C-alpha cells in the first residue's frame, strides 16, 4: 500500500524533537520508550509513521511497508523466501500498538519490514461529519500533511528493482540511466497514484539513506516551509526547485544529525499504464532540478 513507517537514527532526541516536532510540525503520538520518538503527520490516521531512535550514527534503521490484508504477509514471505531472502517474524506488539511483521534485508543492504495492522488515531477530525480542517495548532510548523516517500542508496539496486516490481508488483515510474553505458543510476517505484513511493540510487556503499520526504499542500506552503528553514538556520541542501523526475516542487534540508529531509508538493498522477519515463545522465541537471538544470554535487554524494 505505502511506506507506512520509517525509523531514522539521530544523535540527540531533544534536538530531533525540536526539528521534527516544532519545525517540521509532526505530531508526537506515542511516548514510553526512552530512546525513541514516535511521530505522525497531520493528515495521517495511523498512530505513527516516523520513529526516531537515539544512536551514534545517523541513517536509516529500517523502513516498513503497510499492506492491506494480514494474509499478504504469508504471500510475501513465500515469494521473498523463494527469491532467496531470509525472512524473520516479528510478533505483534514488538512495535508499539502494531500487529505482527515480517522482516528481511534487501539486496541493497536495507532492512525492510511489512505489516498489515497498526492502531489508528485519526487526523484530528471525527469520522462522522468530519468538517474540513482540524483545530488550530494541529497543523503547525511546515504544515506537512503526510510522509510521502523515501530514497535509499546502495551499490546494488538492480535486485531491489526486481523484488519491488515482481514481488511487490510496483511500477517503475521513471529511471535515470547513464548516457554512456545505460547503467541504472536511479530507479523510481510506485504502487500508488503518486509518482513514487520509494526510490533507489546507485552509490558506492550499501544500506545508505538519501532522504525522507513529507508532503505539502501547495507551493505557497513550500515557500512557507522555506521561510521557517531560513528563520531557524536549518541546513539547506537545495532551496526551492522543481524536480524533472516526478515534476514535484521541492526543498531539501538536513536534520541536526545530518539526515536529509524533503518537503514536496505536486508531481503528476501515476497509473500502472502511465508510460515509464527515462532520463539519461547527459540531462542529470534537468532530471534533478529543472528550474536551473544544474546538478548539485552534494545532492548526489551526501548520504547517511
CA 241 to chain centre: 19
CA distance 249 to 265: 5
Which residue number, 92 or 219, has a Cβ lying nearer to its own copies? 219
Contact call for residues 201 and 189 (beta carbons, < 8 A): no
CA distance 106 to 206: 10
Closest CB 77 distance from its own copies, rounded Å: 20
Closest to 293 in 3D by CA, of 251, 243, 246, 248: 243
Catalytic: 211?
A: yes
Closest CB 258 distance from its own copies, rounded Å: 16
Which residue number, 35 or 68, has a Cβ lying nearer to its own copies? 68
Task: Bin 42: left if φ > 0, else alpha if -120 < ψ < 50, else beta.
Answer: alpha
Q: How many CB atoms lie within 10 A of CB 243?
A: 23
Closest CB 157 distance from its own copies, rounded Å: 20
Q: How many CB atoms lie within 10 A of CB 283?
A: 15
Which residue number, 34 or 231, has a Cβ lying nearer to its own copies? 231
19, 110, 149, 270: the catalytic one is 149
5, 44, 174, 262: the catalytic one is 262
Q: By three-state DSSP, how is residue 22 classified? A: helix
Catalytic: 196?
A: yes
Contact call for residues 252 and 289 (beta carbons, < 8 A): no
Which residue number, 33 or 70, has a Cβ lying nearer to its own copies? 70
Contact call for residues 102 and 87 (beta carbons, < 8 A): yes
The burial of 184, by beta-carbon neighbours within 10 Å (0-12 exposed, 13-18 middle, 19 or more buried), is given as: middle
Which residue number, 154 or 241, has a Cβ lying nearer to its own copies? 241
Which residue number, 9 or 252, has a Cβ lying nearer to its own copies? 252
Using alpha carbons only, what angle is made at residue 211 by residues 246 and 53, rounded to the nearest 5 degrees? 145
DSSP 8-class letter at 193: S
Q: By three-state DSSP, how is residue 249 classified? A: strand
Closest CB 303 distance from its own copies, rounded Å: 20
Closest CB 203 distance from its own copies, rounded Å: 23
Closest CB 269 distance from its own copies, rounded Å: 6
User: What H or E segment, with its residue span, contains residue 91?
Assistant: none
20, 38, 39, 252: the catalytic one is 252
What are the residue numbers of the active site?
A: 149, 196, 211, 243, 252, 262
Amino acid at each position: 500500500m505505502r511506506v507506512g513507517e520509517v525509523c531514522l537514527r539521530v544523535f540527540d532526541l531533544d534536538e530531533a524533537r525540536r526539528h521534527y516536532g516544532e519545525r517540521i510540525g509532526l505530531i508526537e503520538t506515542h511516548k514510553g520508550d526512552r530512546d525513541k520518538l514516535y511521530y505522525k503527520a497531520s493528515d495521517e490516521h495511523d498512530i505513527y509513521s516516523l520513529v526516531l531512535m537515539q544512536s551514534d550514527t545517523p541513517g536509516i534503521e529500517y523502513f516498513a511497508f503497510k499492506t492491506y490484508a494480514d494474509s499478504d504477509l504469508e504471500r510475501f514471505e513465500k515469494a521473498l523466501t523463494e527469491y532467496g531472502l531470509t525472512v524473520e517474524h516479528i510478533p505483534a506488539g514488538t512495535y508499539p500498538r502494531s500487529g505482527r511483521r515480517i522482516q528481511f534485508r534487501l539486496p541493497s543492504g536495507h532492512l525492510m519490514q511489512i505489516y498489515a495492522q497498526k492502531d489508528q488515531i485519526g487526523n484530528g477530525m471525527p469520522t462522522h461529519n468530519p468538517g474540513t480542517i482540524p483545530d488550530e495548532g494541529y497543523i503547525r510548523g511546515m504544515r506537512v500533511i503526510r510522509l510521502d516517500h523515501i530514497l535509499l542508496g546502495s551499490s546494488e539496486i538492480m535486485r531491489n528493482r526486481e523484488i519491488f516490481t515482481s514481488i511487490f508488483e510496483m511500477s517503475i515510474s521513471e529511471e535515470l540511466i547513464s548516457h554512456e553505458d545505460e547503467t541504472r543510476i536511479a530507479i523510481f517505484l510506485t504502487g500508488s497514484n503518486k509518482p513514487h513511493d520509494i526510490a533507489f540510487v546507485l552509490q558506492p556503499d550499501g544500506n545508505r539513506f538519501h532522504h525522507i520526504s513529507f508532503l505539502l499542500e501547495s507551493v505557497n506552503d513550500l515557500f512557507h516551509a522555506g521561510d521557517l528553514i531560513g528563520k531557524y538556520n536549518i541546513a539547506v541542501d537545495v532551496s526551492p526547485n522543481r524536480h524533472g523526475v516526478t515534476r514535484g516542487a521541492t526543498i531539501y534540508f538536513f536534520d541536526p544529525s545530518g539526515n536529509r529531509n524533503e518537503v514536496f508538493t505536486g508531481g503528476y498522477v501515476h497509473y500502472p499504464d502511465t508510460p515509464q519515463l527515462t532520463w539519461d545522465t547527459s540531462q542529470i541537471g534537468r532530471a534533478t532540478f529543472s528550474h536551473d538544470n544544474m546538478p548539485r554535487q552534494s545532492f548526489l554524494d551526501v548520504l547517511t
